[in-house]
Amino acid sequence: MTEQKTYNVLFLCTHNSARSIMAECLMRRWGAGRFNAWSAGSHPAGQINPHTLATLTSFNLPTADLRSKSWDEFSGPNAPALDFVFTVCDQAAGEMCPAWNGTPLTAHWGVEDPSAATGSEDRIRMAFRRTYVELESRIKIFASLRVEQLDRLTLQSSLHAIGTVQGSETDAMAGA
């Protein structure tokens, strides 16, 4: 029996306080041991948005070991070799990233920033839920790919296509 490779995935966002943190947790859940998942930010906030933690907790995801961290932790000689790097915010997608260990495939999976939501507590909570569900949809699709059976070009094309899954497909699930 052949041993299955475990892939290393990094999710990036500017502040590493909402979207990338959610993606990290979701990849751990849906990756079912096939993927190691981390998140980081170019300018980390230093703390996780409380609405992010509340959303993750409401979906029964563990939050105890989460922290907002710099993407510098994932470059350099002691960093893990990355297989995939996804940006989940437009600002991070436009920034010059560090040199990653490995030769990761990259894609932009931009998701609306729930931290920018204003209004009532219910409206803000729903923005976080909508972001969660949109990320979950993309990550479930990605985790279901037979990565080891796809050539790099096909895999790269698939990653870009997954990034086009929009909120309209997830709004009903989020209760919006």
- The closest alpha carbon to 138, from 46, 19, 58, belongs to 19
Residue 83: inside a domain, yes or no? Answer: yes
Residue 22: inside a domain, yes or no? Answer: yes
What does 42-86 look like in DSSP terms, one character per residue?
SS--SS--HHHHHHHHHTT---TT----BGGGGBSTTSPPPSEEE
pTM, two decimals, is 0.90
pLDDT tens, 105-139? 999 999 999 999 999 999 999 999 999 999 999 99
Residue 20: inside a domain, yes or no? Answer: yes
Residue 1: inside a domain, yes or no? Answer: no
Residue 45: inside a domain, yes or no? Answer: yes
Residue 155: which domain range? 7-174
Total tally of structural domains belonging to the chain: 1
Instruction: Out of 27-31, 74-78, 98-102, pick the least confident.
Output: 98-102
Residue 77: give its domain's CATH number: 3.40.50.2300
Residue 2: inside a domain, yes or no? Answer: no
